[in-house]
Chains A and B, each alone.
Chain A
Amino acid sequence: EAGVAQSPRYKIIEKRQSVAFWCNPISGHATLYWYQQILGQGPKLLIQFQNNGVVDDSQLPKDRFSAERLKGVDSTLKIQPAKLEDSAVYLCASQTDGGEQYFGPGTRLTVT
């Protein structure tokens, strides 16, 4: 079974630029999460989708972050404009109903 795919793996941008990350979950997984992992910290939830609907985006900085999951499969996370403090690893995870989460390899973002 293929795992959660994410791209790109690494991205370097300057502050105030925009960036987008892509996630392809495991086939059949209805729930999808985006987490932000700042260096030296544990991952923190940004947004949770159930199929193509948002379940929880309470911790998403909506003035600069946006996410969508069209057709309930792939998802994109966008930052515009980026700030220095957005430097982190962005992890995507997918989950079946009543099952545990499986994580992708992450996208490491560096904002200079």
Chain B
Amino acid sequence: AQSVTQLGSHVSVSEGALVLLRCNYSSSVPPYLFWYVQYPNQGLQLLLKYTTGATLVKGINGFEAEFKKSETSFHLTKPSAHMSDAAEYFCAVSEGNGGYNKLIFGAGTRLAVHP
């Protein structure tokens, strides 16, 4: 069965600093991987996804993530944090025999951005 581990339940960065949120997954089949962001009292918004092809994927709001099969990782980065990036971030893997299916989520990482 697939699973997702997010290292660090809370991450704090200064405005303008690099953002790095870590995600490791386990999957017996080529995974579809996702990062979602959740602002307070809102649903989940898709930031980016990896399905096949290029391992470096770019998403909205300047975020990107790199799929590294050898490390079973899909870390999320942003070169320069903005105050508006403060939110909770969830990494997810699509369960099943590849493709889009129900999602298995990590526990989430809360990102704080301070001036």
Surface stretch bound by A, among B13-21, B42-50, B65-73, B78-86: B42-50
Q: Which residues of A contact B43 (CB under 8 A)?
A: 4, 91, 103-106
Whether A103 pairs with B44 at a CB distance below 8 angstroms is yes
- Taking a contact as CB atoms under 8 Å apart, the answer to whether B44 and A91 are in contact is yes
- Establish whether residues A42 and B99, one from each chain, have CB atoms under 8 Å apart when the complex forms: no
B99 pairs with A98, CB closer than 8 A: yes
User: CA–CA, A48 to B43, complex, Å?
Assistant: 18
Name the B residues within 8 Å of A44 (CB-CB). Answer: 105
Verify if A14 is at the interface (C-beta below 8 Å from B).
no
A64-103 interface code vs B (CB 8 A; 1 in, 0 out): 0000000000000000000000000001010100111111
Task: Mark each residue of chain B from 84 to 115: 1 if its CB lies under 8 Å from any CB of chain A, else 0.
Answer: 00000010100000011011011110000000
Instruction: Verify if B34 is at the interface (C-beta below 8 Å from A).
Output: yes
Instruction: Identify A98's interface contact among B45, B100, B105, B107, CB under 8 A.
Output: B100
Interface size class of B (residues with CB under 8 A): 20 to 34
Interchain CB contact under 8 A, B102 and A100? no
Which A residues are CB-close (under 8 A) to B45?
A: 103
Contact, CB under 8 Å: B107 / A40: yes
CB B46 to nearest CB in A, in angstroms, measures 6
A8 to B99, CA, bound (A): 32
**Contact assessment for A42 and B34 in the assembled complex, using a CB-CB cutoff below 8 Å:** no
- Kindly list 17 other residue pairs between chains A and B, CB separation below 8 angstroms, not including A44-B105, A95-B100: A4-B43, A33-B103, A40-B107, A40-B108, A41-B108, A42-B4, A45-B103, A48-B102, A91-B43, A99-B100, A100-B34, A101-B103, A102-B46, A103-B43, A105-B42, A106-B43, A108-B41
